[in-house]
Structure 1
Amino acid sequence: MQVTMTEVLPVRIGVDIGGTFTDLQIYDARSGAIFGFKTPTTPEDPSIGLMTGIKEAADRHGFALRDVGFLLHGTTIATNAILERKLAKGVLVTTAGFEDVLEIGRHVRREVYALNPQQPPTLIPRDCRIGITERVRADGSVEVPLTAAALDGLAETLDRLDPACVAVCLMNSYLNPEHEQRIAEYLAKARPGLKVSCSSALSAEIREYERTSTTVLNALLIPVIAGYLDKLTHRMQAEGFAPRLLLVQSNGGVCSARTAALEPVRLLLSGPSGGSAACALLSGILGEDNLIGVDMGGTSFDVSVVRNGRVNVVMQGEVDRMPVRIPMVEIRAIGAGGGSLAKVQQDKRMTVGPESAGSRPGPACYGRGGVGATVTDANVTLGRLNDESFLGGGMRLDREAARVAIDTGVAKPLGLSVEAAAEGLLAVTNANLGAAIRLSLFEKGVDPREFTMVAFGGAAGLHAVAVADETGIRRVVFPQNASTLSAYGILHSDLIHDLVRSRVIDAKPESLAVIEPLLENLLADARARLDADAIPASDRHIELAADMHYKGQAFELTVPMRSLQLDEAALSALIADFHDLHRQRFSYSNPGSAVEIVSLRASAIGRLPKPAAKPPAAHDSGRPPGTRKVWLAGHWRDVAVWSRDELSPGATIEGPAVIEEAYTSVLLGDGWSCRRDNSGHLVAGRHQ
């Protein structure tokens, strides 16, 4: 039987399942220790790697499966299913005459000068888009009623098409969901095997294209995520493992497995959002308001920005050029990780990524049959990775296989030595990483030199200093358990429900009579969600915000509300805050112009108990560092190699040096030094 939100068992686990490795962070309240663990991901069924990692961690760190109270689970399964098109057959039900909304989209050209620009994918073909006779007006009133005959005709069409899931998105249903609710109720009785997703329950917002796209993605993901959760649940039951399972959402919070099964589109940034949450935590610990978090794993490089101690949450994102209208942490991701493959084009130009060797077969140095030259192979070839103690000694790397891959894939096509080719591969990679950072900061009008970089993920430590040099950043933090930091952020997550009500309303006192009932309904819904999750009253928190714009604008800014009440004084403060935010974002504001409220938002937050971790113990052995031949700046050098676990607080290391820990390594270049602080983090700075 699963534990409730109020039951406290001593062990909590945060899990981030990536494309190459499954990362775990485990907190044991009995000792106050937090420790990381890493195991290869099993793409054919990620729950296999998950349970394998948990059992191995239990054996290594001395806890029993029955001791685990919470399992907080981040995953890339939803994103991968869309990108790889591993989706069930779906049908879209919409108002008759609006079957082509997905193809019409928005009249925005991404590739301005392309002669044949690519259109966003349409995941449901035209013959599977069903127009049903009904119509709700723009004010929410019914113009054409939904009849029983129309419902019966829908059922007959569905029988002919035989889909696994149905997306229901009717015109103006965000104002009046009655027809969508009737369709869902009818199908639940007439075709109970169908998975149905209604836009009014998922994303009750204005703008039919974005709402339709979000609902379609959600419907197509329901069979995928429900199938995975069934496998995971059965695997956990077979092991006698019964923690409270919570899934990480794109907004950085967690939700119940039941919510995840019904609204899987909320999991699209499940894993990366944990890294952003960890950076926000580190902002307070380090006393740094402005951080740039860089997460480099085996497959991708994710950039998140912390400004004034907070990670930005946007109300709309996208996956594979398709809009997703749900709150999500703002993250920029590129295909650049340790497993990214290098290719030499016909014009002798080398590219790195976005294709990845993944975990199977993985880089050539893994010895699993991989033959392409990867970033990890280059680091092994140049002595920057210890081939005898990879993954904490759990895997021995094949250095000769790495050299052969670099020689065959890069060196010979370019007429270079193996070392020069590997160094060039890393230079291209670092340039790509630097470009992603600059773009993430420049688009916000800020200078990279004003930010401290937080480098985490299994591969970031070897690249961070070089990328900092590339971008002008002069301070880099290598956190404790950097390789599993996203899982650390997940470990500290709270339960969050995001709710919204859309209605375009003039932001003036006369509109309060319309706004107040919407707010009351929103707050009642928020409290009901927390009731369903059994959150104690003392652990509840609700935040309100409004999407606002100047009348005539086609975009909104989300403005936090200062309280849960909205009277004339609170409305005046909200409008003033909108003007201030508009000025910050766009360098101007128009206080005399009319302002509209487009949507009201609520975040219902259930505070989960937080790990009370003890600072890591120092184990200064007093031994001098070892040395290793490392290729730097065009030649081999004897470089000091330190063990991070043996560095006491205050210890300072001058570059060039390599600092090794169980699941990652840090490379310090010339002109850099780093110091271990009292929290166990390594803080590096350029002094030349």
Structure 2
Amino acid sequence: MSDAARPYRIGVDVGGTFTDFVLVDDATGRVLTGKRLTTPDDPGRAILEGITRILSEAGGAIGDVRQVVHGTTLVTNTVIERKGARIGLITTRGFRDSLEMGREMRYDLYDLFLDKPEPLVPRPRRHAVTQRHDARGRELVALVESEVRDAARALRADAVEAVAVCLLHAYLDPAHERRIGAILAEELPGVPVTLSSDVAPEIREYERANTACVNAYVLPLMDRYLASLEAELRRRGLGGKLHLMLSAGGIASVGYARANPVQLIESGPAAGATAAMHYGRIAGVSDMISFDMGGTTAKMCLIEKGEAEHASTFEAARVRRFRKGSGLPLKVPVIDLIEIGAGGGSIAHVNAMGLLNVGPESAGSVPGPVCYKRGGTRPTVTDADLLLGYLSPEYFLGGEMALDLAAVEGAMQAHLGQKLGMTALQVAAGIHSIVNENMAAATRMYVAEKGRDPRRYAMLAFGGAGPVHAYGLAKLLKLSRIIVPQGAGVASALGFLVAAPAIDLVRSGVQRLTAVDWDEVAQKFAAMEAEARAMLLDAGAAPGDVQFRRSADMRYAGQGFDISVPIPGSADAETVEHAFRETYFGLFDRRISGVPMEVLSWRLHASASRPEVPHSFTPPPGEGAALKGHRQVWFAETGLAPCAVYDRYRLPVGQRIAGPAVVEERESTVVIGPDAHITRDIHGNLLIDITEETTP
């Protein structure tokens, strides 16, 4: 069967608590959704079960699937939990300890007991070899191959499962790294090798070394996982393609992902931001704060003029979640967003000072919140939301999963209420308030760093827990408009299906702008374009459907850090200088004269067209009025009081519902207070407006 004859596309988002599914039937325009508890011991099990279930609901078979697009938190969780491979590192003599020295900066000047992230490679498994290139890429000292073989034998004795190679200035001339890779293939057959010049061919040795080490650290696990998943899908009859979401928001082939798993470190959050941009285009809103709250984390992303910002670096596995500099810095292109440990599974506890805290530890799917009845005993955000009346004990996941309200009341009182001298309801209200305050503080910081006022933006809320908390978060941020799209609970899975094949490439080399050889720059871009085009064709792009966007990392001479500057297709000194000055002024509101400018790296973003997805989701079968009934729901203004509960699938277009109100759908629940109202638009979005008196 040809791809054109296969009508189904499936997006699969593996989160810490739930695995989400969206199926698009391009033949009929139907969009179906699904959600299953994640199986952390074997994530592929939940994926296969969920695909089977959603295909059954669609009335099709796996042979009808043209494309499966997958994103996962497996990479970042492996690094955070330190459960990756036993790896070694080969580097330039004199640089053996660079992973521990880092930037020689303290992320907290006043903490006398500062915790630093432990290198992924302990010192005994780091080996230095004689060789040297200078900062222009010229060979100063030849590679001593006998030392490489000695290092390989020592690594073999240490039973390493993967090796990273990072040599000084290898981004300018990778010849020595490639020779080391060839020797390691001879000496350590079957052991995967990551070259820094392949995964991060750009300036900054510490970041490049970390990127190579993280790639090597997760490579054996991800290679096995993706190979096993693809093999099982093929065995079951998948004839279409399996693609992976990259951290920058594009999709790539499974072969690329298996070789470069570090590029997947933010694939799940990237899908959420991609979905938010898609929904914004549908709703006609170009400036918004994307708010994605799932079972384990909450992600906020600023979207302006319909696009999310991108960054060329990412910090993984922070020792302190909000402290920049406390993690492992990676040279990986990502969508620029903030992620905090605030999700439905975030555990509430009483700290050493006797105060109520929430997160960042999560109950995940095993054992999960108390209400799931899967062995969890410590109250979570989801438990609090259930006790406050926001969630229905009978309609969670559309009624497939009953929640235990009595167990939550007992656990809330026993674990927290008795210590705090509060009732279970008061503790639940405190948990809900604290997690909202945590998310608001993180969002304010994130938006302020970009020089923006959050009140300018609408909020687009999704994720299983996002619509439950969006109203409270919007009030704290003084926002007046919230948009909750259709299928909000599985929006990230939809994001996989609206993402274009895309890839980011870079070539580094520090030069004064006045010394740049523009013919050489044109050759670099031409080579990157040819490489990117081949990769996108492998990821499913049409031959004539590839667009390129160029940029440069630039700074004034003497500065330690750089900014990203968009540049036109035919660059020269005058146009690039003008672009840099305007970008710099836009960021820092100042113009500097008389100081030379430098280019550090040339970047290329290549992408194909975004796939189209129908706007309308297929509702579950059923009949009846939109108003389902009433139940007791807690709000700060009213306390526990009767509140109308609506079925989202039955709401007519244009109907205005005054708060307080609860609107339920299969994968999520929308909650609004008494000072707000809801309207459903023609695209199925719920538009929530909060009265202006509350948002001065």
Whether TM exceeds 0.5 here: the answer is yes
Aligned position for 1:354: 360
Q: Tell me the distance in 1 between the aligned counterparts of 2:272 and 2:219.
A: 25
**Alignment of 1:663 onto 2:667:** yes
Provide closer, same or farther for how the CA distance between residues 645 and 152 of structure 1 changes in structure 2, counting only shifts above 3 A: same
Aligned position for 1:114: 111
Aligned position for 1:681: 685
Paired residue type of 1:600: W
Provide closer, same or farther for how the CA distance between residues 667 and 234 of structure 1 changes in structure 2, counting only shifts above 3 A: same
Aligned position for 1:379: 385
Q: Tell me the distance in 2 between the aligned counterparts of 1:264 and 1:559.
A: 27
Aligned position for 1:559: 565
Q: Tell me the distance in 2 between the aligned counterparts of 1:609 and 1:331.
A: 23
Q: Tell me the distance in 1 between the aligned counterparts of 2:608 and 2:192.
A: 28
Alpha-carbon contact 1:342-1:409 (below 8 Å) kept: no
Greater alpha carbon shift after TM alignment, 655-664 vs 537-546: 537-546
Paired residue type of 2:258: A
Aligned position for 2:449: 443
Q: Find the partner of 1:300 among 297, 301, 322.
A: 297
Alpha-carbon contact 1:615-1:679 (below 8 Å) kept: no
Tell me the CA shift for residue 431 of structure 1: 0.9
Q: Find the partner of 2:263 among 250, 262, 266.
A: 266
Q: Tell me the distance in 1 between the aligned counterparts of 2:368 and 2:160.
A: 36
Q: Tell me the distance in 1 between the aligned counterparts of 2:601 and 2:36.
A: 43
Alpha-carbon contact 2:487-2:617 (below 8 Å) kept: no
TM-score using structure 1 length: 0.96
**Alignment of 1:388 onto 2:422:** no
Provide closer, same or farther for how the CA distance between residues 458 and 531 of structure 1 changes in structure 2, counting only shifts above 3 A: closer
Q: Tell me the distance in 2 between the aligned counterparts of 1:285 and 1:610.
A: 12
Q: Tell me the distance in 1 between the aligned counterparts of 2:616 and 2:607.
A: 26
Aligned position for 1:603: 605
Q: Find the partner of 2:635 among 632, 636, 654.
A: 632
Q: What SS does the aligned partner of 2:36 have?
A: strand
1:249-260 to 2 correspondence within 5 Å?
249-260=246-257
Q: Compute the RMSD of aligned alpha carbons.
A: 1.9
Greater alpha carbon shift after TM alignment, 170-179 vs 149-158: 149-158
Alpha-carbon contact 2:283-2:685 (below 8 Å) kept: no
Alpha-carbon contact 1:620-1:648 (below 8 Å) kept: no
Provide closer, same or farther for how the CA distance between residues 409 and 145 of structure 1 changes in structure 2, counting only shifts above 3 A: same
Paired residue type of 2:664: E
Alpha-carbon contact 1:47-1:235 (below 8 Å) kept: no
Paired residue type of 2:222: I
Q: Tell me the distance in 1 between the aligned counterparts of 2:205 and 2:332.
A: 14
Provide closer, same or farther for how the CA distance between residues 367 and 152 of structure 1 changes in structure 2, counting only shifts above 3 A: closer
Tell me the CA shift for residue 494 of structure 1: 1.5
Alpha-carbon contact 2:249-2:270 (below 8 Å) kept: yes
Q: Tell me the distance in 2 between the aligned counterparts of 1:99 and 1:163.
A: 17
**Alignment of 1:575 onto 2:568:** no
Q: Tell me the distance in 2 between the aligned counterparts of 1:391 and 1:211.
A: 43
Aligned position for 1:546: 552
Q: Tell me the distance in 1 between the aligned counterparts of 2:670 and 2:588.
A: 39
Paired residue type of 1:673: H
Paired residue type of 1:392: G
Aligned position for 2:277: 280
Tell me the CA shift for residue 604 of structure 1: 2.5
Aligned position for 1:135: 132
Provide closer, same or farther for how the CA distance between residues 440 and 141 of structure 1 changes in structure 2, counting only shifts above 3 A: same
Provide closer, same or farther for how the CA distance between residues 376 and 624 of structure 1 changes in structure 2, counting only shifts above 3 A: closer
Provide closer, same or farther for how the CA distance between residues 104 and 617 of structure 1 changes in structure 2, counting only shifts above 3 A: closer
Paired residue type of 1:235: E
Q: What SS does the aligned partner of 1:411 have?
A: helix
Aligned position for 1:159: 156
Provide closer, same or farther for how the CA distance between residues 614 and 397 of structure 1 changes in structure 2, counting only shifts above 3 A: closer
Provide closer, same or farther for how the CA distance between residues 291 and 151 of structure 1 changes in structure 2, counting only shifts above 3 A: same
Q: Tell me the distance in 2 between the aligned counterparts of 1:611 and 1:555.
A: 40
Paired residue type of 2:652: S
**Alignment of 1:406 onto 2:406:** no
Alpha-carbon contact 2:13-2:21 (below 8 Å) kept: yes
Q: What SS does the aligned partner of 1:539 have?
A: coil
Q: Tell me the distance in 1 between the aligned counterparts of 2:233 and 2:508.
A: 40
Aligned residue pairs total 681
Paired residue type of 1:577: A
Aligned position for 2:320: none
Q: Tell me the distance in 1 between the aligned counterparts of 2:155 and 2:455.
A: 58
**Alignment of 1:169 onto 2:169:** no
Q: Find the partner of 2:91 among 91, 94, 104.
A: 94
Aligned position for 1:496: 502
Aligned position for 1:317: 314
1:435-514 to 2 correspondence within 5 Å?
435-508=441-514, 511-514=517-520
Q: Find the partner of 2:9 among 9, 12, 15.
A: 12
Greater alpha carbon shift after TM alignment, 20-29 vs 109-118: 109-118
Q: Tell me the distance in 2 between the aligned counterparts of 1:125 and 1:524.
A: 39
Tell me the CA shift for residue 519 of structure 1: 2.6
Q: Tell me the distance in 2 between the aligned counterparts of 1:631 and 1:353.
A: 22
Greater alpha carbon shift after TM alignment, 376-385 vs 216-225: 376-385
1:211-290 to 2 correspondence within 5 Å?
211-290=208-287
Alpha-carbon contact 2:678-2:688 (below 8 Å) kept: yes
Paired residue type of 2:545: D
Paired residue type of 1:249: L
Per-residue CA shift, 1:383-414, capped at 9, x if unaligned?
21110111111101111011111111221111
Alpha-carbon contact 2:88-2:164 (below 8 Å) kept: yes
Consecutive unaligned residues in structure 1, runs of 5 or more:
none
Q: Tell me the distance in 1 between the aligned counterparts of 2:642 and 2:156.
A: 71
**Alignment of 1:330 onto 2:336:** yes
Per-residue CA shift, 1:236-258, capped at 9, x if unaligned?
23422343111111101111111
Paired residue type of 1:487: A
Q: Tell me the distance in 2 between the aligned counterparts of 1:584 and 1:438.
A: 20
Q: Find the partner of 2:588 among 586, 589, 611.
A: 586
Tell me the CA shift for residue 172 of structure 1: 0.8
Tell me the CA shift for residue 154 of structure 1: 3.1
Q: What SS does the aligned partner of 2:544 have?
A: helix
Greater alpha carbon shift after TM alignment, 475-484 vs 114-123: 114-123
Tell me the CA shift for residue 145 of structure 1: 1.0
Q: Tell me the distance in 2 between the aligned counterparts of 1:112 and 1:287.
A: 45
Alpha-carbon contact 2:243-2:539 (below 8 Å) kept: no
Alpha-carbon contact 2:6-2:66 (below 8 Å) kept: yes
Greater alpha carbon shift after TM alignment, 643-652 vs 528-537: 528-537
Paired residue type of 2:667: Y
Paired residue type of 1:223: P
Q: What SS does the aligned partner of 1:275 have?
A: helix
Per-residue CA shift, 1:249-298, capped at 9, x if unaligned?
11011111111111100010010100111112222222222111111111
Consecutive unaligned residues in structure 2, runs of 5 or more:
318-326
Q: Tell me the distance in 1 between the aligned counterparts of 2:149 and 2:401.
A: 60
Greater alpha carbon shift after TM alignment, 453-462 vs 605-614: 605-614
Q: What SS does the aligned partner of 1:537 have?
A: coil
Alpha-carbon contact 1:548-1:556 (below 8 Å) kept: yes
Greater alpha carbon shift after TM alignment, 207-216 vs 522-531: 522-531
Alpha-carbon contact 1:505-1:511 (below 8 Å) kept: no
Per-residue CA shift, 1:647-678, capped at 9, x if unaligned?
11111110001101111111110110011011
Greater alpha carbon shift after TM alignment, 269-278 vs 628-637: 628-637
Tell me the CA shift for residue 337 of structure 1: 0.8
Per-residue CA shift, 1:573-609, capped at 9, x if unaligned?
2221211111111111225432111101112224464
Alpha-carbon contact 1:655-1:669 (below 8 Å) kept: yes
